C-alpha cells in the first residue's frame, strides 16, 4: 500500500516508517521538523520505497494514499508548552486537514491520541470508557484538549461522512531515537545518569507511570490500522506500573552512575497515576507488550550513550 505517516521523522514515527517500509509498503514521511530529526530517518533516505515531504499539517496537502497514520504533534511538555497555540493548531487543524484528505481519497486514517486525554485520572487503571479529568485552562491543556478535540473530529467525520477511522491512545513510550532534550522521564534520567548529573525527580517521586517499548507500540499501531470492524479508541501501553522514584533508582543501577537524586516541586496538573487497562487491545487486536523493561532500557541506554559520545 501507499502509506502516509505524519510526524514520520519523530521518535515513534521513524520506527513506524521503518517497519512499514520493511513490510514492502511505499511510505510518505511528512514532517515539519519542529521536533522531528532527519537523523531518525537517515537509514531510509536511499530506499526507493521511502519519500520525505517537508510540510506542516496545519496547511492542507493533496496526496494519493491508502492509509494515513496521523502522529504529527509535539508530545513532550517542554516542546508542546514552548508554543501552545501551535500545539493545539497542529492537533485540531492538522486533524481536519488529514481527515479531509482521507475523505477525498477514501483512505483509512489512524489518529495517534494519548493517555493525556485522561488528565489526572480519578479512575485507575484507565479504561477506554473513562472520560478523563482534564484542566481545560491549564498549561498542559493545549496538548490534552487538542488531542481530545482530534478524537471528537475523528468520530464526527466517521459518523457524518463515513470516513474510515481508527483511534489509539498511546501511554508513555520509550526507546532509541527519543530526543535527549525532550524533558520526558526516560530520556531525562538516562541522559542525566550518563553525564553523571543529579537525577531530577519532581514532587516526592510517588507518582506512577507505565513504560512501553517503542517496538511493541508500533506493532499495536499496525494491528489497529489493519483491524476490521473496530475503530477504537483503544489503549496501547505497558500495564507494568512503577513510581518515578523507583524508576530513577533503576536507571542509576543500570547505568552504573554515581548520580544522586534531587527533588524539585511538582509541575502543575502533573498526573499522579498513569497505567493503561489493555484488556480491550488484547481482545480486539491480540496485542500485549513483549519487550520487558530491562531489555528495553538497555537498548535505550546504549542509544543515548552513542548519541552523547558523538558530541
Q: What amino acid positions are annotated as catalytic residues?
A: 143
DSSP string, 218-273: HHHHHHHHT-SS----EEES---EEEHHHHHHHHHHHHT----EEEEPPPTT--S-
Beta-strand runs (E) in the chain: 2-6, 26-31, 50-54, 67-70, 108-114, 165-170, 173-174, 199-202, 208-210, 212-213, 234-236, 241-243, 261-264
Contact between residue 103 and residue 157 where contact means Cβ atoms under 8 Å apart: yes
Contact between residue 58 and residue 97 where contact means Cβ atoms under 8 Å apart: yes
Beta bridge partners of 26: 2
| Eight-class DSSP state of 180 | T
d(CA 140, CA 220): 26
Amino acid at each position: 500500500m501507499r502509506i502516509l505517516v505524519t510526524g514520520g521523522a519523530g521518535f515513534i514515527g521513524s520506527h513506524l516508517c521503518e517497519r512499514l517500509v520493511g513490510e514492502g509498503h511505499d511510505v510518505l514521511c511528512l514532517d515539519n521538523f519542529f521536533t522531528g530529526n532527519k537523523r531518525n530517518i537517515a537509514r531510509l533516505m536511499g530506499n526507493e520505497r521511502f519519500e520525505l515531504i517537508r510540510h506542516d499539517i496545519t496547511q492542507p496537502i493533496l496526496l494519493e494514499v491508502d492509509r494515513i497514520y496521523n502522529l504529527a504533534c509535539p508530545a513532550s511538555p517542554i516542546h508542546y508548552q514552548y508554543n501552545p497555540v501551535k500545539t493545539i493548531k497542529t492537533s485540531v487543524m492538522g486533524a481536519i486537514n488529514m481527515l479531509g484528505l482521507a475523505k477525498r481519497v477514501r483512505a483509512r486514517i489512524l489518529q495517534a491520541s494519548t493517555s493525556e486525554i485522561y488528565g489526572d485520572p480519578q479512575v485507575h487503571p484507565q479504561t477506554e470508557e473513562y472520560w478523563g479529568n482534564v484542566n481545560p485552562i491549564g498549561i498542559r491543556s493545549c496538548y490534552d484538549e487538542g488531542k481530545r478535540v482530534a478524537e471528537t473530529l475523528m468520530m464526527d467525520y466517521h459518523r457524518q461522512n463515513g470516513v474510515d477511522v481508527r483511534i489509539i491512545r498511546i501511554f508513555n513510550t520509550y526507546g532509541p531515537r527519543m530526543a535527549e532534550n525532550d524533558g520526558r522521564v526516560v530520556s531525562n534520567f538516562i541522559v542525566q545518569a550518563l553525564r553523571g548529573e543529579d537525577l531530577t525527580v519532581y514532587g516526592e517521586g510517588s507518582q506512577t507511570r507505565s513504560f512501553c517499548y517503542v517496538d511493541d507500540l508500533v506493532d499495536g499501531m499496525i494491528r489497529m490500522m489493519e483491524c476490521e470492524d473496530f475503530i477504537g479508541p483503544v489503549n496501547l501501553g505497558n500495564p507494568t506500573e512503577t513510581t518515578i522514584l523507583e524508576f530513577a533508582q533503576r536507571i542509576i543501577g543500570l547505568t552504573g552512575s554515581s548520580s544522586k537524586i534531587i527533588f524539585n516541586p511538582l509541575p502543575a496538573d502533573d498526573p499522579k497515576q498513569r497505567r493503561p487497562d489493555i484488556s480491550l487491545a488484547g481482545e480486539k487486536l491480540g496485542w500485549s507488550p513483549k519487550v520487558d523493561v530491562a531489555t528495553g532500557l538497555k537498548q535505550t541506554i546504549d542509544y543515548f550513550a552513542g548519541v552523547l559520545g558523538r558530541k
